[in-house]
Amino acid sequence: MADVEMKPAEDKTKTDDKKEEEVKPTPPPTPVAEIKANAALLERAVTSLEPRFTHRVLRTLTSLRKKLDSKVLTDAVEEIYHKDGAVKKELLGWIPAPTAVSEMEIDASAAKSTSTSEPVPEVEIYLRLLILHYLLTDKEHYPKALELAHQTVEKMQTLNRRSMDSIAAKVWFAVQRAYELGGDLSDARPLFLVAQRTSSLRHDDEAQASLTNILLRSYIHYNLYDQAFKLVSKTTFPPSASNAQYARYHFYLGRIKAVQLDYSDAHANLQQAIRRAPPGKIAPGFYQAVHKYFVVVELLMGDIPDRALFRHPVLEKALSAYFDIVKAVRTGSLSQFQTTLSKHAAQFESDKTYTLIVRLRQNVIKTGIRRLSLSYSRISLRDICVKLHLDSEEDAEYIVGKAIRDGVIEGRINHEKGWMECEVGGSGYGSEVSELFGRRIAFCLNLHNQSVKAMRYPLDAHRKELAAVEGAREREKELAKDIQEGKIDEEDFNPEPGF
């Protein structure tokens, strides 16, 4: 047998190394490369009149602005604007000087494109938006950010290009943040009102939705709920708005309805905000803020929130104070409620839920009175004051009378003897229990009568009749077959009478 020549083992290892190199994932693009790619997409959106490319750029804004610094912005402007024009100098003037120089330097000459055309104005507004977001990350740059916001709005209104509408909605949000952090938000309200009217006349749905939410936030920030309600009633929120804008709109609308004592509509709007909002891990701040109001509104409606809500990993720490309030309302202890309210008053005021939580005092008192009415058939008003920690017997009489009128408890107040008597029927049960018991007895009697009627007739009697009919049919078929075959004559089958 001839010897077989074996291949060296190194060839196999080399092929495995090549496969591993081919499977290696490509590294993510640098922030500068991402900004350049977004600028190219904006150019393509303007030339092809396709707004989907602009939306693709704006979807990366949230993740991109976390990677921005002076070096990234400077390199991006240098690589996008090759000529030393007025726009390039102006953009570089807004970028603060970098605090530290990166070790890796990009060769600008190698990165430059062969194209010498000036970028479209949408690219300039997009770069201004990135610079504005970067300036808002540092307190020292708030005045500069406010100035840049003013100049960007003026330039955007001077250009007046419909291909810039999607970017304009993001710019207005950044302007609102600049005023909120670096100035007075009420000063920008006339500017936002004019822009909102202009966007509604031009049917610019994205800017209209963004500006409506900005105005609602401005009104609610200064507790101007009447003006916010007038704005909602006089305007129509665009149906083509994004889920994020709808979530903010329903959140603000729920807060307005809660202040106006319309708890059912407030609860429905807050539920819509939770459903339309991003998941808790993506936007934890908004998720927590909506659930704080949702818990308070649910308590004001007389319901107790689900305990599993307070075990959510994103909400567990943020809703710890609200969980204590829920326990106080559930037990009906007014002293525990007052202690919890004073303990977490600072947090409730910062969350702007303090005024709504104060309204829960009546719910706690109603729960306590309901418990007392179930425990005692007669109790003095003085004992009610002691147990519920009320100020005087007059307050206890007023609260008990209101609870009786609202149907919370069934009873009456004896003014002469100064006690509350709970109504009890002659059989020892209340009116609701007696009525329910009577309905159950009537149902059992009706079931008994139907059972007696069913027992009078055999259940299988109709089956015997069906079997007899089927047998007669079979006999008729056999007779007809015999007649056709000639085995039986018709005369034999029908003999003459008297034969």
Task: Tell me, yes or no, whether 7 lies in a domain.
Answer: no
User: Does a structural domain hold residue 232?
Assistant: no
Give the C-alpha separation, 412 to 25, whole Å: 78
Dihedral in degrees, nearest 10, Cα atoms 74, 78, 79, 84: 160
- For all residues of the chain together, what is the average pLDDT? 78
Q: CATH number for the domain including 418?
A: 1.10.10.10
The angle that helices 284-300 and 243-259 make with each other, rounded to 10 degrees, is 30
Residues 475 and 412 in one domain: no
**Does the residue 284 lie in any domain?**
no
In this prediction, residues 38-52 reach a mean pLDDT of 83
Residue 425: predicted pLDDT: 46
pLDDT tens sequence across 106-125: 444 334 444 456 788 888 88
pLDDT of residue 100: 45
**Rounded percentage of the chain residues whose pLDDT exceeds 90:** 8
Here the tokens at position 157 are 């209104």
Q: Are residues 140 and 169 in the same domain?
A: yes
Final residue belonging to a domain, choices 183, 200, 232? 183
237 part of a folded domain: no
Q: How far is CA 115 from CA 79, 80, 83, 206, 458, in A?
A: 11, 10, 11, 33, 98
Q: 177 with 90, same domain?
A: yes
**What is the pLDDT, as a whole number, of residue 480?**
81
Q: Quote the percentage of the chain above a pLDDT of 70.
A: 75
Give the range with max mean pLDDT: 23-32, 188-197, 324-333, 367-376.
Answer: 188-197
In this prediction, residues 86-107 reach a mean pLDDT of: 64
Residue 262 placed within a domain:
no
**Most confident region among 56-70, 274-288, 424-438 by mean pLDDT:** 274-288
496 or 396, greater pLDDT: 396
Q: Does residue 464 sit within a domain?
A: yes
Q: What is the pLDDT of residue 444?
A: 93
Residue range 461-480, pLDDT digits in tens: 667 777 777 888 888 888 88
The verdict on 377 and 480 lying in the same domain is no
Instruction: Pick the range with the lowest mean pLDDT from 158-172, 401-415, 473-487.
Output: 401-415
Q: Provide the token pair at 478.
A: 């056999």
Q: What is the pLDDT of residue 97?
A: 73
Mean pLDDT (whole number) for 154-171: 83
Q: Does position 252 have pLDDT exceeding 90, yes or no? A: yes
Examine the pLDDT at 203 and tell me if it is beyond 90: no
How many folded domains does the chain comprise? 3
Same domain, 456 and 476: yes
Res 40: pLDDT: 84
- Give the mean model confidence (pLDDT) for residues 495-499: 47
Same domain, 439 and 456: yes
Of 183, 205, 237, the residue that ends a domain is 183
Mean pLDDT of 385-396: 66
From 422, 442, 474, the end of a domain falls on: 422
Length of the chain counted residue by residue: 499
Decide if pLDDT at 270 tops 80.
Answer: yes
Mean predicted confidence (pLDDT) in 340-367: 84
Angle of CA points 325, 328, 334, to nearest 5°: 115
214-223, 329-338, 379-388: which is most confident: 214-223
Q: Could you report how far apart the first and last alpha carbons of the chain are, in Å?
A: 112
Residues 416 and 440 in one domain: no
Task: Please tell me whether residues 155 and 85 are part of one structural domain.
Answer: yes
Q: How large is the average pLDDT for residues 423-434?
A: 58
More confident residue, 420 or 176: 176
Same domain, 129 and 49: yes
Candidate from 65-79, 334-348, 422-436 with smallest mean pLDDT: 422-436
Residues 144 and 92 in one domain: yes
Residues 471 and 378 in one domain: no
Is 147 a residue whose pLDDT tops 90?
Answer: no
46 and 164 co-located in one domain: yes
Query: Judging by beta carbons within 10 Å of its beta carbon (0-12, 13-18, 19+), is residue 447 exposed, middle or buried?
Result: exposed
Least confident segment among 2-6, 253-257, 283-287, 481-485 = 2-6
What does the block give as tokens for 360? 């829960």
Give the range of the structural domain holding residue 482, as residue numbers without chain letter: 431-489
Q: Which of 97-101, 288-292, 350-354 has the lowest mean pLDDT?
A: 97-101
Mean pLDDT for 377-387 is: 68
With cut-offs at 50, 70 and 90, classify the pLDDT of residue 146: confident
